[in-house]
Amino acid sequence: MTTINHMITNPVLPGFHPDPSICRAGEDYYIATSTFEWFPGVRIHHSRDLVHWRALPSPLTRISQLNMKGNINSGGVWAPCLSYDDGLFYLIYTDVKSRVGAFKDTHNYLVTATDIEGPWSDPIYLNSSGFDPSLFHDEDGRKWLVNMIWDHRKGKNRFAGIVLQEFSVQEQKLVGPAINIFKGTELGLTEAPHLYKHNGYYYLVTAEGGTGYEHAVTVARSRTLQGPYEVDPSNPILTSQGRADLDLQKAGHGSLVMTHTGEWYMAHLVGRPVQGKHCILGRETALQRCAWSEDGWLRLASGDRYPELQVEGPKLELHPFEPPMEMDHFEETELRHDWNTLRIPPDPTWVTLTERPGYLRLYGLESMSSTHHQSMLARRLQAFECEAETCLEFEPDHPQQMAGLILYYDTQDYLYLRVTYHEEKGLCLGIIQSRYGVYDELLEEDIPLQQGNRIHLKAVIDHDRACFYYTLKDNLSSWIQVGEWTDITHLCDESPEYIRFTGTYIGLCVQDLGGSRKHADFDYFRYTLS
């Protein structure tokens, strides 16, 4: 049945899905989002109606494409750009190695594929002059890279403008001069450029104002590709600034698509804070319906500049997908698409589904502070009210060995229900917390456990707080609360110490700080909405 007035509910990609790049290939629609230090690199979702979305395999699955070992927190993959031209998908992405202080080491690459699900090519190195690169396919067949340029010098505008340079398909490299085509507006922090051609104009869509609560989308246009670009007199065309009452905050970083029915939509990032200021789910992806004004400027179809929770969908037949399964019994030989690892790809040296069929086996590696080798398998937290549950078998013999269920933002912030060994108590259970880098143990004493038991662990999340539970011997009707309800607002972008950009994950991990690689076996993982 074809529906005309179906509605899009925002965010369309809840949880950590920032910096969306939307594109169309025929009658299929795709959104690529940033993954930062999480592996595999770049998250891609697919839709046929802009209402229902499903996750596809990620494109950057090999170290030859993305080597993030040692990358800093909120480094890694920033702001990918996905485009399609003449039967080929193009994916541009940045691998950020450093980002704190005067300098940023931001390496930009291109991979391609004939099928959105891969295989994707090894990368072509483009440049390192700035971040947020995107590729524009002009009507004459030429291709152009745009990225913001970073100026480290004292007294300069660090966000120094948008640089344009031609990409030669034949030579597989950038050619010709790099030209600064747009210095930005008074909003500042000009980044995330995307170019579009419409009715004789080149439209440059950028993000300004920073990626926090003053974020915005700026549009400028020119009759010629190299400018000069005239700023929209109604700039910005999208923002949440000044509207603390809105459910969708941080609106910015826009990307446009025209449907095959001729309708226009903007994908953009948003944040949904708890307690008015803490975005524990990270930055998410929303869609807004757009229209063109009589004088040729892009406008939100609502008539104002603020993001809406409910948006009229396109005139397309609804195409729902099967919802993801709540339970993972680890009965397959490959990990599901919703699992992610930190900085390094999963390989049989530390994660396996085959050594003990029906179980996930993780070998203990470095601590939660490591930016090199963590043995962690986690999925995005995508709802304010949810539960996660697992069962593990673990036989530690030293306090340096731990395994359990973790809520994780980065090396500075996590909440961890872990099983470990105590010299006097033997096998025991406790809660570790790191809050803005300060380590704590939340129980006065760890709880002794009978040696050799199967241990079920559960986390319950309710907006700004979480609580842990456990039970033994598969007795799922008698959960025992571990500690008190704990504030989790530190698991968010808004750190008082430094700017960061990811979101909360929940998952399974094992540490063996002594290096003997003690393993734990996990029987299942369940993630359900409350």
Q: Which residues are catalytic?
A: 19, 191
Query: Tokens in use for 432?
Result: 């570790």
Residue 348: is the preceding peptide bond cis (ω within 30°)?
no
Rounded to an integer, what distance in angstroms lies between the CA atom of residue 161 and that of residue 140? Answer: 25
Question: What are the distances in angstroms from CA 514 to CA 400, 412, 487?
Answer: 6, 21, 31
Rounded to an integer, what distance in angstroms lies between the CA atom of residue 108 and that of residue 152? Answer: 18
b/e burial code for range 23-34 (CB count within 10 A of at least 16 → b): bbbeeebbbbbb
Element (H, E) at 43: strand 43-47
Cβ–Cβ < 8 Å for 520, 362:
yes
- How many residues does this entry show for the chain? 530
Question: What are the distances in angstroms from CA 174 to CA 125, 171, 456?
Answer: 9, 8, 54
Nearest to 40 by CA among 84, 91, 105: 91
Cβ–Cβ < 8 Å for 372, 424:
no
Rounded to an integer, what distance in angstroms lies between the CA atom of residue 208 and that of residue 37? Answer: 24
Question: What are the distances in angstroms from CA 471 to CA 53, 395, 422, 482, 509?
Answer: 36, 17, 19, 10, 19
Residues 6+ apart with CB under 8 A from 463: 274, 280, 384, 385
Cα pseudo-dihedral 269, 275, 277, 283, rounded to 10: -20
Rounded to an integer, what distance in angstroms lies between the CA atom of residue 121 and that of residue 110? Answer: 9
The conformation of residue 2, written as its DSSP 8-state character, comes to B
Sole residue written with tokens 């005067």: 102
Amino acid identity, position 176? G
Going along 230-308, which residue ranges are E strands?
Answer: 230-231, 238-239, 249-258, 264-271, 283-292, 298-300
Cβ–Cβ < 8 Å for 468, 484:
no
Element (H, E) at 241: none
Query: Tokens in use for 350?
Result: 């530390």
Rounded to an integer, what distance in angstroms lies between the CA atom of residue 343 and that of residue 74? Answer: 11
Cβ–Cβ < 8 Å for 482, 465:
no
Residue 18: is the preceding peptide bond cis (ω within 30°)?
no
Instruction: Please state the separation of Cα 307 from the chain's center in Å.
Output: 20
b/e burial code for range 260-279 (CB count within 10 A of at least 16 → b): eeebbbbbbbbbbbbeeebb
Sole residue written with tokens 């690689």: 517
